[in-house]
Amino acid sequence: MTGTTRELWRVPEASVDASCIGERAAELVERLQAIVAEFRDVRFASSMAAEDMVVIDAIVTARLGITIFTLDTGRLHDETVQMTARTEAHYGVDIHRVRPQSQDVASFVDQYGVNGFYDSELAKKACCHVRKVVPLNQALHGADAWLTGQRRQQAVTRTELDLREHDSERGMTKFNPIHDWTDAQVWAYLQHRQVPIHPLHDRGYPSIGCEPCTRAIRADEEIRAGRWWWLQQENKECGLHIK
């Protein structure tokens, strides 16, 4: 490297031994089994990023009756679209694609422009609402509980995450089954169990969202620094997870 060029974030090498990962994997399955035993209709929203692939692997290998879906916002990286198909082929499962309403997208574009989310926090929230929040609400309609891949180490807004939360916005229970996992445990799990990994992770993206709103980060930046990088740095949320 020369000048001010800094190295991009890299996928960590597995630094947790297999026995520890085996214990964490068993604990994760126990958590998921308890959720399925308590709730009739459980659904998992996945972005196909590292954390979500851990949860998918546990759901499928334990043969749990949890519906898996993904929010196809219309602005995803091609790699994410391909990753969804690759995951389906790898595990032999169907992943439901949930898309925004065309009239909602058209209304946003009329008011803000195609890429108007770059202009203000208000416009960014409006775009996320149309492309992510409304589709999520539709995807969860009729469900009893839903799962996320959120972890405490991901952001300052998530440091107090619990396993179980009440989603007052949607009137249901939400679970974060790997809320207490470390970065090292996530990557060791994926590597030890040979779980498919999103190709953007190998290009400096630890966190993956819509293409125009996500960038690769440097090794010395926070994990979610590449999300909505042109806006304030203390809140890297889109509105899916409301406190």
Give residue 233's pLDDT.
59
Would you say residue 165 has pLDDT above 80?
yes
- For residues 19, 25, 29, 34, the Cα torsion angle rounded to the nearest 10 degrees is 80
The DSSP 8-state label assigned to residue 132 in this structure reads I
- The pLDDT tens digits for 36-69 are 999 999 999 999 999 999 999 999 999 999 999 9
Residue-wise pLDDT for 75-87, tens only, equals: 999 999 999 999 9
Q: What is the pLDDT of residues 98-152, one digit of tens each?
A: 999 999 999 999 999 999 999 999 999 999 999 999 999 999 999 999 999 999 8
Can you tell me the mean pLDDT for 94-100? 98
Question: Which CATH number is correct for 18-213, 1.10.12.10, 3.90.1300.10, 3.40.50.620, 3.40.50.460?
Answer: 3.40.50.620
- Predicted pLDDT at 159: 73
Contact 109, 138 (CB under 8 A): no
pLDDT value at position 73? 97
Q: What is the 3-state secondary structure (H, E, C) of 50-107?
A: HHHHHHHHHHHHCCCCEEEEEECCCCECHHHHHHHHHHHHHHCCCCEEECCCHHHHHH
- For the question of residue 210 being annotated catalytic, the response is no
- List the catalytic residue out of 127, 210, 213, 238: 238
Residue of 138, 112, 139 lying closest to 212 (CA atoms): 112
d(CA 217, CA 103): 34
Residue 13 pLDDT level (bands cut at 50, 70, 90): confident
Q: What is the pLDDT of residues 186-231, one digit of tens each?
A: 999 999 999 999 999 999 999 999 999 999 999 999 888 899 888 8
Which letter, b or e, does each residue of 70-90 get, where b requires 16 or more Cβ atoms within 10 Å of its Cβ? Answer: bbbbebbbebbeebbeebeee
pLDDT the model gives residue 9 = 94
